[in-house]
Structure 1
Amino acid sequence: MTQKTALITGASRGLGRALARELGRDGWNLIVNARGAEALEAVAKELTAEVDPTVTVAAIAGDVADPEHRARLVQAVTEAGGLDLLVNNAGTLGTTPLPRLAEQPLDDLAEAFRINTLAPLALVQALLPALRERGGAILNITSDASREPYETWGGYGSTKAALEQISNVLAAEEPDVAVWWVDPGEMRTEMLRAAGEDVDAAPPPEEPAAALRHLVTERFPNGRYQAADLAGAR
């Protein structure tokens, strides 16, 4: 049986790191990405020490919004022999402190769309042939801010709302590939801290990561999920 391979963006901390650990323990080969090379290498060493010796961990640092970097990720998938799961987890809050829409700098918002919406779509476009070949899956990480009218979250939330609709249509267009978009809920992460929220009251990212592992392992139907609901289904 061919060993499965997952590509996880934004894997140097938070949810991406926690999910990489979950899948690595299950015997998945891992291609992990993040912008910070030093932090990513540290996570790769940590993963390699934890997983079975047959599991490979390839760390490729860079910005997923950079076409040249995406080409390196595609090359890594080719070298791995294929792809079974693409996790679009890398993202940015955009302007911080989070502004009201009346004061939202448009250049910052355009950059947030480039990272949170266009880069995931570009990776999907580049990796769809590999995913189709293996009957793979796409997991896009979204947010409740994509649906709820939280004050000051309009810019970030709009980028995630666009990613949700891309996911929704992609699920209709790609019958041979599973497509999920998941709201992980609040997590104890640096991103939540940067947003000015109460980080200490939030659960650790390991909790939604375990729920996402369940989603992937059981191969739920296409659609939008909340990690809390997935956790209750285990």
Structure 2
Amino acid sequence: MAKEASSNTVCLLLLNLLVSSIAARPSKDEAANAKITTLPGQPTDASFAQYSGYVTINEKKKLFYWLVEASSDAESKPLLLWLNGGPGASTIGYGAFQEIGPFQILPDGKLSKRQFAWNTEANLLFLDSPAGAGFSILNERAMQDEAFMNEIGDVNNFNLYMRPSASPIQDLMYRDGFGYYSDNDTINYLRRREVQEAFHIDPSYIPVNYTLDSDLVQNSYIESDTESSMLPVLKELVEAHLRIWIYR
């Protein structure tokens, strides 16, 4: 009698499915549809290939991905899957644009090349997960509720006593991390229609009122979820010889 698959095994199989479905060599038509010609404000000397689109989980869920090839020798470089936590934090907004991706968003809406971008060493696969986070779709994805932000106004969650500054020097202090100004720049950029079109966002959802953190996901994160340990899943990934890096 076959042993019933555990939920951890299902998670592992799902991860393998996601990675293989995106990283596998696509047909010419699929590659052409997924390829990003250029992002608005992208530096002209950025010569690496980029792809984006959706992985359909079921009729209610679609996960958005952005695949950035290594800047050199992409065929021989490893594939790195990057997921942000939260729950509900956008991997595209945080991981890609504020942490390790090839571009940084400037206050004027243009992109600059990140000095220490990780795609110098690997092909980067950013996945907005779970469904409902970032550009990923859950059911009929409604506009995100901005009542909270409208209520508290322009507050820096990392320093409640810091006032917004017009100083470009102080602005640059926050350019490369979890900063107030970086958040605003990222949100403003990813809300632009031409940016969403370049990323191949589902046209039925354009314009998406993009947020870095999904209230939809956070509000559905019930107490029972916190009682489930990820250690069994991590054990299976390690046994499958997949290297994992976790940090907070």
Q: Same fold (TM over 0.5)?
A: no
- Find the structure with the greater CA-based Rg: 2
| Higher fraction of helix | 1
Q: TM-score, normalised by structure 1?
A: 0.27
Given the two structures, how large is their TM-score scaled by the length of structure 2?
0.25
